[in-house]
Structure 1
Amino acid sequence: MGLPADVIAELALTVAGAATRSATPVSRGRRATLTMLLTADLVNGPYQPLSPEDQMPIVTGSHESTSARCRPERPTQSLHGRRMWLVGILAALCTALLPGVAPHAAVAEPTHPTQVSRLYVTNFDADTVTVLNAGTHAVISTVPVGETPIEVAVDPGRARAYVANRDAHTVTVINTDTNTVLTTIPVGGPPQDVAVDPGRGRAYVTNAADDNVLVINTDTNTVVTTVPVGDVPFGLEVDPGRARAYVANSEGDSVSVINTDTNTVVTTVPVGDRPFDVAVDPGRARAYAINENGDSVSVINTDTNTVVATVPVGDTPTGVAVDPARAHAYVVNSEDDTVTVINTQTNTVVDTLTVGDEPARVAVDSSSARAYVTNYASDTVSVINTATDQVVDTFAAGDGPVGAAILNAAQGGGHCTKPRKSTC
């Protein structure tokens, strides 16, 4: 016995109606015809063309009704046979009605462009950001931004890069999927650095002229509050796990510690002479504040917010980044064209590397064991193998490269900081 006609009609309408959502449109007339045929076939059995006898005109007076003459012959089938036939006709109709849906075995996996880690470099003298393939160093794109871009930070989850334009008093927001500018955010004064807390959806920008840190909502790209800090804040870094931001106050010889849940300063840590930048190693609970005039690094215990060591480095340090996987900190010394390598377990200098002319910043990609040093005066980037602490490559950058950030293909990221010429 067949399925009830009303049930089959509903099934037919569902299958036919789905065709309107397929890749190839189906006309109303075609859907109606297919629905009718499907309903008739499922109720009465497979369609059989009328034999010549059945196609003969009805003779007046015949005892056989017109409906009986026109109805196709219904062959006798077993229950299993009818089920198999039903499956076959539904499969055929799905193939005909839904050409955009292929059988599962025939569906090819979607192909995506190969993702590569990218290096974002701010060109201070060209008002641009160069986007490079971090592995091959090939230029992917050059993005025009504001005047004198000094720093850049990335938010991998939101596919955004935030560029601090010092003399334009703005932050440019770049879509890192398309490497195009999404918007420009006024910040009221000369921004010196920017850092991102992806989990809280916030970017933090130091405003050296107004002695504060602006907090940007990275979902709306609007400034939501400002936090007063010390005198002439320059570099900063975020420790998302501890909900803290560390701000180097260059004229206050201190580091302000901000609670990023409440956006209030919880303490101020005295450090060396003219702190210029700061980097964080969350796993070891350490922050490294470089002292530009003191030629040293103040090591802060971020659990107690106290200085636990001071490490001498090269002449005029202006950038610092940490490779937590290898327990090394890399300090850029702009006046002697070197990078000091510090063992973060012993807080001792283990190596000094020669790089380009007037190095400005350094960004580390732990996953590839690479550190990228921007050389402001030579318009180049030096590449350090952090597994061997050797300079393995130098490639051309834009005009006056300063800030650098890594957007890791595996959802990593990096952030880095400013040149000596950039002081207000």
Structure 2
Amino acid sequence: MRKAGALRFTRRRRRPSHPLLRSGGRFWAWGLVCLAWLPAHALAQQALVTAQLGNAVEIIDLGSKTILQSIPVPGAPAGIALSPDRKTAYVTRPEGHGVSVIDLDARRVTASLDLPGGPLGIGVNPKSGEVYVADWYGARVFVLRPNAAGLTLEGEIATGKSPSGIAVTPDGATLLVANRESDTVSIVDVGSRRETRQVSVGQHPFGLTLSADGRYAYTANVVSNDVSAIDVAAGRETGRVTTGQRPYVIAFAVGKGFVTDQYSNTVTVFDPATLKTLAAIDVGDHPEGIAATHDGKTIVVANWGDNALSLIDPSSLQVTGTIGTGDGPRAFGDFLR
């Protein structure tokens, strides 16, 4: 069966029936969680990859290029975010309608919380540890509180339609949400849990990433094939970057931006200061999740179509290696430890 909403058929992939398992069309899904910037103490030696078709989260050592552990997570795991201390992973399960909690030291699922709707994008407040989950089928973000038992649902925040990518500013005071069906980004005051502004961006924004200082946000606009830059304090779009086909998520390293282009099988490189396109790097089939290691020396790309991670040197803009993964790697969100 053709994946709901997909605008192309990947070359060799079977297609799950659930609309949250694919991206690209009207029900374009997953994109997840925005990419959060790693705290200063984090060591990005491991990639925590949601293998959505394999129903697992894989812990991959980037140095040895080996899978250390495959943790079963039923329900088509998609989005992922890490706790501030980097010891816990929170994983959305669109088909399982909930969130799983993984102890990364014990390498096992320790708790699960059922949620209504379509839990997809996920992010963590770097100060309070609150967990935010976007309901793809609604116009809301769930607020979850970590506790000894796992997670507790504390409330909801109204957003635009089909919220997807999520990011939180480094001071923990502001939440940003990409609203795919509204063509907007919600700016939310965390203290009051109320949206204070909606910023118009390109068509169908999905992945959402902040600059390191939290002053600017960037959305990957799937249908208009560009990236919107947003001045967070001013609450307005400041410009756009032209990308390849179906941009998904953005990462930053060595003063450059990197965007996965799902249908072009490339990563677009751009200058955040000028918003000019610098290059396009050929990677694997259908690249989606992307993040930079904490030392800024490697960009890690999850290629859905060929079950592999591509490793890119952000200075030379060359692919330096690949790592095999399980079936359907997404790594949508904060996935480097």
Partner of 1:283: 213
Q: Which aligned pairs between 1:26-175 and structure 2 lie closer than 5 A?
A: 117-157=45-85, 159-175=87-103
Assess if the C-alpha contact under 8 Å between 2:77 and 2:94 holds in 1: yes
Partner of 1:86: none
Point out the structure with the larger strand share: 2
Give the Cα–Cα distance (whole angstroms) in 1 for the partners of residues 44 and 300 of structure 2: 16
Partner of 1:233: 163
Q: Deviations over 1:53-88 (max 9, x none)?
A: xxxxxxxxxxxxxxxxxxxxxxxxxxxxxxxxxxxx
Point out the structure with the larger helix share: 1
Partner of 1:296: 226
How much has 1:322 moved relative to structure 2?
2.4
Between the two proteins, the alignment pairs up a number of residues equal to 292
Q: Deviations over 1:203-228 (max 9, x none)?
A: 11100112110111123511111101
Q: Does structure 1 residue 266 correspond to structure 2 residue 215?
A: no
Assess if the C-alpha contact under 8 Å between 2:66 and 2:323 holds in 1: no
Sequence identity (%): 27
Partner of 1:350: 278
Give the Cα–Cα distance (whole angstroms) in 1 for the partners of residues 186 and 238 of structure 2: 16
- The DSSP-based 3-state class of the residue aligned with 2:244 is coil
- The DSSP-based 3-state class of the residue aligned with 1:276 is strand
- The DSSP-based 3-state class of the residue aligned with 1:377 is helix
Q: Deviations over 1:397-419 (max 9, x none)?
A: 110100254443xxxxxxxxxxx
Give the Cα–Cα distance (whole angstroms) in 1 for the partners of residues 313 and 168 of structure 2: 25
Give the Cα–Cα distance (whole angstroms) in 1 for the partners of residues 172 and 129 of structure 2: 15
Q: Does structure 1 residue 311 correspond to structure 2 residue 241?
A: yes
The one of 282, 303, 319 equivalent to 1:375 is: 303
Runs of 4 or more consecutive aligned structure 1 residues displaced over 4 Å after TM superposition: none
- The DSSP-based 3-state class of the residue aligned with 1:398 is coil
- The DSSP-based 3-state class of the residue aligned with 2:171 is helix
Q: Does structure 1 residue 223 correspond to structure 2 residue 148?
A: no
How much has 1:295 moved relative to structure 2?
0.1
How much has 1:392 moved relative to structure 2?
0.6
Normalised by the length of structure 1, the TM-score is: 0.66
- The DSSP-based 3-state class of the residue aligned with 1:367 is coil
Q: Does structure 1 residue 386 correspond to structure 2 residue 331?
A: no
Q: Which aligned pairs between 1:304-343 and structure 2 lie closer than 5 A?
A: 304-323=234-253, 326-343=254-271
Assess if the C-alpha contact under 8 Å between 1:201 and 1:219 holds in 2: no
Partner of 1:255: 185
Q: Deviations over 1:342-387 (max 9, x none)?
A: 1112221112100000111112113151111111011111011123
- The DSSP-based 3-state class of the residue aligned with 2:182 is coil
- The DSSP-based 3-state class of the residue aligned with 2:127 is helix
What amino acid is the match of 1:373?
V
Please provide the CA RMSD for this pair: 1.6
What amino acid is the match of 2:249?
G
Unaligned stretches of 5+ in structure 2? 1-42
